[in-house]
């Protein structure tokens, strides 16, 4: 996506939020930062050698985007709105690039980005997504996962605006946890330590003893079952992430 489009979406969001000039600039420049100061990822080459490469913009991966989202959220909770908006801008850049279809071999890509840049930002879509956003890291993850590259220029811009607004709304949402969340997490944590962990540890131990008794190294791999079992305590892991979103618990 063209810089013009990235900054136009940032402007529309800033306008809807009523941000001052300094914060407006933080969001705008953050939105083009990945092109100026690229994120890097570590890749493994053909001969098993690792190398550092520029993170792909049209398929950056959930983890990279979430890294910036979490950074933004933590800054926001600390009251550092400037850093929060700058990190948010970075996350938005990737979402916006993901909204535009690359086409076969990327041939039609440049002309499509030109076409997107010629359109005006649908302010209504921005406003609606900002106000209907849900303040939760799971909501943010789902939103990112649902971004689909659009072939039609107008649809691509709409997709970019919808996802961007939703994420900004979620990150800059309430600072205090919703009622009952901390209590619910405390209960889940108690169950996790009293039930899940003992079951997981027992499973691992049984496999380990079996491996020793039979001298079967394959059975030793079963020791990892404990790790898998504790992952199955979905409720605990879900709530732990929710609680972290508010830096409590
Ligand atoms: Zn880009």
**Per-residue confidence (pLDDT) for residue 101, from 0 to 100:** 85
- What is the Cα–Cα distance from 89 to 95, expressed in whole angstroms? 10
61 Cα to the center of ligand 1, angstroms: 14
**Per-residue confidence (pLDDT) for residue 108, from 0 to 100:** 66
**Per-residue confidence (pLDDT) for residue 26, from 0 to 100:** 97
236 and 194 Cβ atoms separated by less than 8 Å: no
**Per-residue confidence (pLDDT) for residue 217, from 0 to 100:** 78
CB atoms within 10 A of CB 75: 19
**Most distant pair of Cα atoms in the chain: their distance:** 71
19 Cα to the center of ligand 1, angstroms: 24
186 Cα to the center of ligand 1, angstroms: 41
Which 3 state secondary structure label does DSSP give 11?
helix
43 Cα to the center of ligand 1, angstroms: 19
- Chunked in runs of 10, what are the mean pLDDT values of the chain (249 residues)? 95 97 97 92 80 84 95 98 97 94 69 87 96 97 95 94 98 95 95 93 90 82 86 92 92
**Per-residue confidence (pLDDT) for residue 80, from 0 to 100:** 97
232 Cα to the center of ligand 1, angstroms: 37
- The residues, ordered by sequence, that sit 6+ positions from 57 with a Cβ below 8 Å of its Cβ are 34, 35, 93, 94, 97, 98
17 Cα to the center of ligand 1, angstroms: 24
97 Cα to the center of ligand 1, angstroms: 6
157 and 215 Cβ atoms separated by less than 8 Å: no
**Per-residue confidence (pLDDT) for residue 67, from 0 to 100:** 97
8 Cα to the center of ligand 1, angstroms: 14
91 and 69 Cβ atoms separated by less than 8 Å: yes
Which pTM was predicted? 0.88
**Per-residue confidence (pLDDT) for residue 95, from 0 to 100:** 94
Q: Strand (E) positions, the chain? A: 40-44, 50-54
């Amino acid at each position: 996506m063209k810089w013009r489009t990235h900054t136009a979406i940032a402007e529309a969001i800033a306008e809807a939020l009523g941000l001052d000039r300094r914060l407006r600039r933080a969001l705008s420049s953050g939105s083009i930062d990945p092109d100026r100061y690229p994120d890097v990822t570590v890749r493994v080459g053909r001969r098993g050698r690792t190398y550092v490469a520029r993170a792909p913009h049209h398929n950056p991966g959930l983890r990279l985007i979430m890294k910036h989202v979490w950074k933004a959220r933590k800054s926001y909770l600390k009251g550092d709105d400037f850093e929060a908006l700058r990190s948010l801008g970075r996350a938005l850049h990737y979402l916006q690039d993901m909204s535009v279809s690359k086409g076969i071999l990327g041939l039609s890509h440049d002309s499509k980005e030109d076409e997107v840049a010629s359109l005006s930002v649908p302010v209504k879509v921005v406003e609606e997504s900002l106000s209907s956003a849900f303040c939760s890291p799971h909501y943010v993850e789902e939103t990112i996962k649902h971004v689909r590259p659009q072939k039609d220029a107008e649809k691509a811009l709409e997709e970019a605006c919808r996802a961007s607004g939703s994420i900004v709304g979620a990150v800059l949402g309430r600072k205090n946890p919703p009622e009952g969340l901390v209590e619910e997490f405390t209960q889940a944590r108690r169950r996790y330590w009293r039930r899940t962990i003992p079951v997981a540890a027992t499973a691992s131990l049984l496999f380990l003893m079996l491996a020793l008794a039979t001298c079967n190294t394959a059975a030793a791999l079963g020791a990892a079952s404990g790790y898998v079992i504790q992952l199955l305590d979905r409720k605990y892991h879900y709530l732990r992430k929710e609680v972290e979103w508010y830096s409590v618990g």
